[in-house]
Structure 1
């Protein structure tokens, strides 16, 4: 996959929809009865990169304060959604150690790799920071996960929603109708190609998480040093 082209297509199509007020508002973000949970493998960007992202988010907040902005502790890259979030999933229904064994097996051959966060893209419901992988290490790991979980009897929903191949990070979700949409989009365009920095992938976390990966609701299950 040509990530640059993928992100550009997503941006072009989504901005047209946002301009036309054809965007999607997430009505569940503030709902205390939202009990969608799952387990996910995630990578956390460096503190420096996250601080750079917050400068961008602060500009957006100045014109659209009522949207949903990710805090530093929530910012992540999804490596693989092992069990996609669904209503009522509970950790005590699975054997975490069996999942850890398969993930460790899939990590064999994982070598040093970096991710660069550069530029902004969008969807009809959110704003994302573009992530670029320097090599195929992460996608090869994803493929080994697919193969190893496929032959296991463990509950999993890998690729049920879509086959993940990117390294983006969602940083804004739309939860209210825009009041200063044009100013918001001007800031998005300003940051369209800004370099937020690069970082070495040193760990991958297995977490029990809600739909939004909110730090206060996330339970860290295992940290795999890579």
Structure 2
């Protein structure tokens, strides 16, 4: 996959939908009755990179305060959605140790993964950071996870929604109608090619999570050192 082209196409089509008021508003993001949960293998950017992201988000918040902005604690890149969030899923339905063992079998020795967040992309419902990988280790790990979980009898929903190949990170979700759309989009355009810097990936987290990876609802199940 040509990531740059993929991100650019997503950006162009999604920004057009925002301009035309055909973007999507998430009605569940503040709901107390949302009990969609799953388990995810993810990675998190460095504190320095998260600080750069928050500087950008603060500019958007000043224009559109009534949207959903990710806290630093919640910002992540999905390595693999192992059980995609669904209503009623609970940890007592599975044996966590079995999942940990399959992931351990899938890890790559000395992967030397670095991610560079440079520029923005979007979907009809959110604004995302473009993530670029320095090598193919992350996608090789994903391929190992696909094969090893498919060869197991464990509950999983890998690739059911889409086959993940990117290193993007969602940082804004629309939860209300944009009141100052033109100013909001102008700021997005200003940061379109912003370099949020590079970070080295030293660990992965297996978490039990809600749809939005809110810290208060996320439970870390295991940490894998790379």
TM-score (norm 2): 0.99
Alignment of 1:85-164 (within 5 A): 85-164=85-164
Unpaired segments of 5 or more residues in structure 1? none
Post-superposition Cα deviations, 1:34-90, rounded to whole Å, max 9, x if no partner, equal 000000001000000000000000000001000000000000000000000000000
Structure 1 residue aligned with 2:209: 209
Structure 1 residue aligned with 2:194: 194
User: CA–CA distance in 2 between the matches of 1:37 and 1:59?
Assistant: 31
Q: Please report the RMSD computed on the Cα atoms of aligned residues, expressed in angstroms.
A: 0.6
Unpaired segments of 5 or more residues in structure 2? none
Does structure 2 retain, via aligned residues, the 8 Å contact 1:110–1:141? Answer: no
Structure 1 residue aligned with 2:225: 225
Detail structure 1 runs of 4+ shifted over 3 Å in the superposition.
none
Give the secondary structure class of the aligned counterpart of 2:130. Answer: strand
TM-score (norm 1): 0.99
Does structure 1 retain, via aligned residues, the 8 Å contact 2:102–2:145? Answer: yes
Structure 1 residue aligned with 2:51: 51
Post-superposition Cα deviations, 1:110-165, rounded to whole Å, max 9, x if no partner, equal 51110000001111000001000000000000000000000100000000000000
Does structure 2 retain, via aligned residues, the 8 Å contact 1:26–1:125? Answer: yes
User: CA–CA distance in 1 between the matches of 2:194 and 2:64?
Assistant: 20
User: CA–CA distance in 2 between the matches of 1:21 and 1:187?
Assistant: 17
Structure 2 residue aligned with 1:66: 66
Structure 1 residue aligned with 2:31: 31
User: CA–CA distance in 2 between the matches of 1:6 and 1:86?
Assistant: 28
